Amino acid sequence: MKKISTRQILIFYAIYSFSIKFLMLPQILATHAARDAWIVALIGTIVELVVLFIALTVLVKLRDTDIYSAARKDFKIVGAKFIVLLMLFLFILQLLILLKQIFYLLQTQMFENLSFRNFAIPMLTLGIFFCFFPARSIFRSGEIFWVFIIVAIAISIIPAVGQIRPWEVLPIFNRGAGPIWSGVYRNLIYFESASFLLIFAGDIKVEQNFRKKFMTLAILVGASFVLFVFMFYALFGPMSSTKTIAIANLTLYSSFFSNTGSMDWVLVSIWLLLLTMRFGVTFFCAFSCLRYITAIKHRAGILGASLGIAIYLLLTLVFRNMTELDSFIYHAAPAIVSLYILIPLSFYIFTLRKGGKKNA
């Protein structure tokens, strides 16, 4: 079976990272830290890069070994199932976050009377659909859509560059470190971009300078987001906390959009596509964890449907409305962040003694 190429995984990493950050996260960070939002973004990006480096090192060390086989070797069967169960928990929490984000995007921009329960059915069905494809087929789709990221960012940012007011972000630390710490602590979950790579260990072709290329791209993606948050607050100032769809709000400065009517839906549609792709891959990761735990390898429909039904029951029976889901995600943030850091770190510690080719 052909493996996921370096090009494919790099493109999809950009999609995975951009999709959840550029849409609503700038407004969330501005709500916490106001003009220091870009500092929160910088700290979150640094943590993300450190965890990503750890995960990439694990991939390089494992090479042709899948994550469950590695876990069985390092943690024995019981330990392997437990750590994969924790990964399953992490991916389910990510799915809840993505469902919330996509639902909010659709409700505020396209379908005002959209029901969350009705919305969840087609989304989870789409997730089940992803389970029927091999990993490489999923990542090949990223090669088709990466250009949309460039177009969306370009038509949003370029017209607004001349309107930036840098003094809006000064002075820094004027409210102390408390809001910055709160912003980092509560929103580090949105900087999670490494765990999904571990699920595809053994399916990724680790080529020469793989880790170096990946980290170079990740630094560029992270730096562009920090600059975007800086620009966002420099444009809107204290009003940033009310601009929920960040990248769409930048179209206010585009003469093309203003002359042709309200075209925010173009960007919303592009970001909806990117979020949907991330949702599908995250669902596939949760499905893979379930497959490892149950040792059922060739029943994608049964396992995928079981996972989809379980998540739907969780959404409908445990969370009666979006407010309760928001509250749960808010209070679950420490658990999500702990898993996001500790799982790659655990594999890293136990794979240090394994050999790996230099310059990978």
**Domain extent listing, the chain:** 6-351
List, in order, residues 6 or more apart from 290 with CB less than 8 Å away: 88, 303, 306, 307
pTM, to two decimals: 0.86
Mean pLDDT of the chain: 81
What DSSP line would sit under 19-58, residue for residue? HHHTTTHHHHHHHHHGGGHHHHHHHHHHHHHHHHHHHHHH
Residue 99 corresponds to which tokens in the numbers above? 């469902």
Q: How many residues does the chain have?
A: 360
Left if phi > 0, otherwise alpha if psi is -120 to 50, otherwise beta: which for 127?
A: alpha
Give the pLDDT of residue 356. Answer: 45
pLDDT in tens, 81-106: 888 898 899 899 889 888 888 888 88
One of 3.40.50.1220, 1.10.4160.10, 1.10.287.3510, 3.40.190.10 is the CATH number of 6-351, namely 1.10.4160.10
Give the pLDDT of residue 298. Answer: 64
Of 139, 130, 8, 68, residue with least CA distance to 343: 68
357: confidence class by pLDDT, cuts 50, 70, 90:
very low
pLDDT in tens, 184-241: 888 888 898 888 888 888 888 888 888 999 999 999 999 989 988 888 888 888 888 8
Of 47, 20, 6, residue with least CA distance to 276: 20
How far apart are alpha carbons 168 and 230 in whole angstroms?
A: 9
